[in-house]
Amino acid sequence: MKEIIIDISNDGEVKIETRGFQGKSCIAESQFIKDLLGTEIQKQLTPAYYHENKVPVRKYLPICG
């Protein structure tokens, strides 16, 4: 399940966490929130960000003439 968690501390600091996304889609899916809130001060990427959804490419070679 894909989730975007928004945590607002008592001093007004906002943290956005995405769960269930792979690759760079987390950045695109949470961009609308960043646009509403203003300037981004810090970004911490999780290992899921570096995981790309690669589809295996199968190459078929002719075996018989």
Per-residue pLDDT, averaged over 10-18, amounts to 91
Q: Read off the pLDDT of residues 30-65 as tens digits, 9 standing for 90 and up.
A: 899 889 888 888 888 888 888 776 666 666 666 765
Residue 43 lies in a domain: yes
Residue 55 lies in a domain: no
CB-based contact 21:48 (threshold 8 Å): yes
Please list, in sequence order, all residues whose beta carbon lies within 8 angstroms of the beta carbon of residue 63, skipping any fewer than 6 positions away: none
Coil, strand or helix: which one is 17? strand
Per-residue pLDDT, averaged over 9-32, amounts to 89
Residue 56 lies in a domain: no
Looking at residue 10, the DSSP 8-state letter turns out to be T
Residue 27 lies in a domain: yes
Residue 59 lies in a domain: no
- Tell me what pLDDT residue 62 has: 66
- Tell me what pLDDT residue 22 has: 83
- Tally of domains within the chain: 1
CA angle 63, 54, 60 (to 5 degrees): 5
Domain that holds residue 13: 3-50
Cα 24 from Cα 52, distance rounded (Å): 8
- Tell me what pLDDT residue 11 has: 93
